Amino acid sequence: MSELLKNLEWRYATKQMDASRPAEQEKIDRILEATRLTATSSGLQPYEVIVVKNADIKEQIKPHAWNQSQITDCSHLLVFAAWDNYTEERINMMFDLVNEERGFVNEGWENYRQMVLGLYPKRDAEVNYQHAARQAYIGLGTALIAAAEEKVDCTPMEGFVPEEVDTILGLTERGLRSVILLPIGYRADAGDWLVDLKKVRRSKENFITEVN
């Protein structure tokens, strides 16, 4: 754990990436696997991660992300895209997958399925999307930690136009909406104003409240 804390101290939102130094694919694979294994509400995994390596596609996305250089200088651009709605088909897909993988049907699990089916599909689509988007942020947190463990740099970005990214990547047709971007690569040797500045966070006393 002490090594993890050191790695989290090391990481920062990289402002300038070295376009000539791509992140190793095996490191990206481990980051993605950590993200896949992370927690989601009811185990539904209501989002996907699109990994953009294509330089032309990154160039198309860049002007819709405040022309931030990390979009094109990173080696892998992760796009966290949430389900646009909870449907009976999507819910049943995940519950059926659990039954298939575990090799048995549990009565309590099936009762829970019916409860979810009775609630989620009846809600407004925007309410469901916002819930799914919050699950994507859980995955983002895991990806940030995993990247720190792999000693590769990344920058979570909300500063982009989701509708434009959705169009470029064809997400709307797949029932997905982009939530947040995560360029991954290596920090540049020069040109990043943030790299040498002290990491600043609120003190433990001003951040954590214990209720005993």
Reported as a single tens digit per residue, the pLDDT across 16-72 is 999 999 999 999 999 999 999 999 999 999 999 999 999 999 999 999 999 999 999
Residues in the chain: 212
Q: How far is CA 113 from the centre of its chain?
A: 26
Nearest to 192 by CA among 68, 54, 65: 68
Answer whether residue 176 shows pLDDT above 90: yes
Half-sphere exposure of 27 (CA within 13 A, CB side): 19
pTM for the model: 0.96
The CA angle 192-57-186, to the nearest 5 degrees, is 30
Give the mean pLDDT of 124-142: 98
Least confident interval from 99-103, 108-112, 127-131, 191-195:
191-195
Calpha distance 150→75 (Å, rounded): 15
Which of the four pLDDT bands, split at 50, 70 and 90, describes residue 102?
very high
CB 154 within 8 A of CB 143: yes
pLDDT of residue 1: 82
Give the mean pLDDT of 11-18: 96
Q: What pLDDT digit, counting tens, does each position of 177-212 carry?
A: 999 999 999 999 899 999 989 999 999 999 999 999
Alpha helices in the chain (DSSP H): 2-10, 25-36, 55-61, 70-73, 88-102, 107-119, 125-150, 162-169
Calpha distance 153→74 (Å, rounded): 9
Give the mean pLDDT of 151-164: 98
